[in-house]
Structure 1
């Protein structure tokens, strides 16, 4: 098993604490000793650095403008199929459209405009406009969803009463789902009225502020899942889920919601709750819940071939995971971190892994200390695409996911789906031109920073999204550049 190498400074610091009591050591930052069966590194076999690597071309597609000299904090990209315009968000509040060829970038809507009264809270790396999505009927005149799209945003405006809160006495901000209705969906800029508030969550801590919102793209008109909005809600933040919200079916936090945004039988008549939701008839459970036991998921996706749903969940300090999601699934947090019993920050138990038959365990997972990642014990599962297109044949029939901040993209089989662990994980590397070396995403962002004359990013903050024609776009928060993955 790989061991951490302690710096001289760390060794001196630990020595100075040796005579202190255990409680004093904890206060001063000394780690508690590992007990038998505990570890911070459950995967002794590293991710294969060179075996099974897929190489693809990464081309610059478009650029978003800086705000006050700071690059765009790109979070989400979707395409409107009728106009083929691409919509992309900056976490601080602007929403842009980009022409299909990437040559024209147009401001579409800015949530920071005071007339919307949203008061976007975008301090730190985790707050801001978390996600947005177009209703599948956005461009269909006469349809109930015509002109409608949704934003999921952290707000410093806590005047309105929340729909969901926690027992924590203090709060930091709200995360709000809004519905917007454009009069003319094809217009260059948003031409509708102020948004309608759908759901408001009162956040107890500044981190873990939500996640993705989207509609199931595999659901066709008339299907039971068509027009239902999936909404990722993180566990409320801090560390270790201190209020045990993720396993509490009476709490909204640590869940995946499924709602009908055009319905009326939800709280305050602002949305609908599908009767087919797994806990719709369960006493003391929130009927909006589709799945639970989630820590901090920022992406989920469906397999167009099988209909299976998968979700990436950011770990506490040891394991990152990609998990399958079914109606009513318990993904384990905070009893489990991946396949292992959660003990505390950076500690899990290797005794009886995957031993609860009521828990849905990951299809694949990896350790934060793996040497292929950045050597700073910082890791987060991001991005998730089940790629069934043939536009990029190297990636066809692969499940793609990534690690932040290292900027590593990984792949596993979508047909022979793994059953846990990191042994099946293989890398995706990028070339930027003929004869160029294959590199991870962060190295390409850093190269761009140098060309821009800006400070070199130490993290990639990678996100990636696929559009219907099979193109995959890679986003980041360090250089304002949107890139497209090609054959």
Structure 2
């Protein structure tokens, strides 16, 4: 289930989960989870908690200063099911808001441009609740070369599609629709779990998140199959000459280059639906919010400088609990989440960013995440190997995505009522 899935198609059971340390003051809570997954299949069996390995980053309570009060103010409205917002990194001050139907709208000074920056509705299917135009990344040198990349589910069969476009030479507020070229179109049997996040890493390579292909419980077993790009984050080079048979190059230091039976694009795997991930613009650390099955939502972490190749566990595990099999699963070699919550607090995680803006110094270094259904929200901060998750007053419901502007200030878009809002401190 992606964050803009309707929460009313639920199948419920109960499971006792491990203690978490949350809040400004440390305290321990044992949670009874009410599972709720938007898939139409049978509910997952009761998971059995697994032990976190030493050094896995299990939440603790280091001495960090308390966070100030956080609120959101409306910037613009009237969007049709927005899925993402970002700046272009070109100093223009524009924000680009994706709409599920296949359009990108420009917001400048709180005003929405009359004409879309890009309109590819004819290429996009958005009939499934988790389908549509899902991701956007501007090239690091966009101001010079005008290149940007989008991720969508294709109208001709629903394939998970990555495409490149260029801005119009005549109008910086319009893309050239004729410039579009498909870099890949990965077939998918189900309409859900499409991933969709795109971001350039500090290394200049493009990272692409793909879900496990949909259906409940990873029926295709994609996420643990290195021959299948589904259920993984890819890392590709869009600047070097393409590799044979591909429309892009493969970085030579990708972890599975040269391994028989493995896709060389894969950077990390074992993911269910990594709807949103982000790089800390100061440290280069990678934060991944993976949407759970029937019991747990999780945040995964990859430190800057990692060689890649991490296995985040799905569908052997859901969060820190065994999923397949339901007990006694083999967790050695798996990277467990640095934070998780159960479906007593929500139904679908929307991952955000580590705040690095200038407006609110007290927030710097905090990674924000919220639940789509309930608005439950957390600020997660690291101090060395220690992690602290502070439960925040609830955010608005229906947050389909967080986003950053060029200066690192944070925004959200809400699926319905279709708004763009800015993070502020009370």
TM-score (norm 2): 0.80
Aligned-partner Cα distance in 2 for 1:61–1:462: 16
1:383 corresponds in structure 2 to 351
2:62 corresponds in structure 1 to none
Aligned-partner Cα distance in 2 for 1:58–1:3: 30
TM-aligned CA deviation for residue 393 of structure 1: 2.7
TM-aligned CA deviation for residue 307 of structure 1: 2.2
TM-aligned CA deviation for residue 38 of structure 1: 3.7
Aligned length: 373
2:333 corresponds in structure 1 to 358
Aligned-partner Cα distance in 2 for 1:320–1:126: 17
Aligned-partner Cα distance in 2 for 1:176–1:30: 30
CA separation of 1:102/1:361 partners in 2, compared to 1, >3 Å: closer, same or farther? same
CA separation of 1:108/1:368 partners in 2, compared to 1, >3 Å: closer, same or farther? same
Aligned-partner Cα distance in 1 for 2:76–2:259: 48
Aligned-partner Cα distance in 2 for 1:408–1:262: 40
CA separation of 1:5/1:239 partners in 2, compared to 1, >3 Å: closer, same or farther? closer
Gaps of 5+ in 1: 7-27, 43-50, 66-71, 141-145, 159-172, 220-224, 430-438, 443-459
1:452 corresponds in structure 2 to none
TM-aligned CA deviation for residue 190 of structure 1: 2.0
Contact 1:257 1:290 in 2 (8 A): yes
Contact 1:387 1:395 in 2 (8 A): yes
CA separation of 1:441/1:29 partners in 2, compared to 1, >3 Å: closer, same or farther? closer
Contact 1:246 1:253 in 2 (8 A): yes
TM-score (norm 1): 0.70
RMSD between superposed Cα atoms in Å: 2.9
2:143 corresponds in structure 1 to 139
Q: Does 1:88 align with 2:97?
A: yes
TM-aligned CA deviation for residue 192 of structure 1: 5.1
1:14 corresponds in structure 2 to none
CA separation of 1:4/1:131 partners in 2, compared to 1, >3 Å: closer, same or farther? closer
Bigger helix share = 1
CA separation of 1:5/1:102 partners in 2, compared to 1, >3 Å: closer, same or farther? closer
- Give the match's secondary structure for 2:159: strand
Aligned-partner Cα distance in 2 for 1:474–1:185: 31
- Give the match's secondary structure for 1:139: helix
Pick aligned residue for 2:362 from 381, 385, 394: 394
2:372 corresponds in structure 1 to 404
Contact 1:247 1:292 in 2 (8 A): yes
Aligned-partner Cα distance in 2 for 1:483–1:386: 17
TM-aligned CA deviation for residue 5 of structure 1: 9.2
CA separation of 1:30/1:208 partners in 2, compared to 1, >3 Å: closer, same or farther? closer
Q: Could you list the runs of 4 or more consecutive aligned residues of structure 1 that deviate by over 4 angstroms after TM superposition?
A: 1-6, 28-32, 51-54, 416-419
TM-aligned CA deviation for residue 416 of structure 1: 4.9
Aligned-partner Cα distance in 2 for 1:250–1:399: 32
Q: Does 1:428 align with 2:392?
A: yes
Pick aligned residue for 1:471 from 394, 403, 409: 409
Alignment of 1:42-81 (within 5 A): 54-65=68-79, 72-80=80-88, 81=90
TM-aligned CA deviation for residue 285 of structure 1: 0.8
Which deviates more, 74-83 or 249-258? 74-83
- Give the match's secondary structure for 1:304: coil
CA separation of 1:204/1:4 partners in 2, compared to 1, >3 Å: closer, same or farther? closer
Alignment of 1:53-202 (within 5 A): 54-65=68-79, 72-80=80-88, 81-99=90-108, 101-106=109-114, 107-112=116-121, 114=122, 118=123, 120-140=124-144, 146-158=145-157, 173-184=158-169, 187-191=172-176, 193-202=178-187
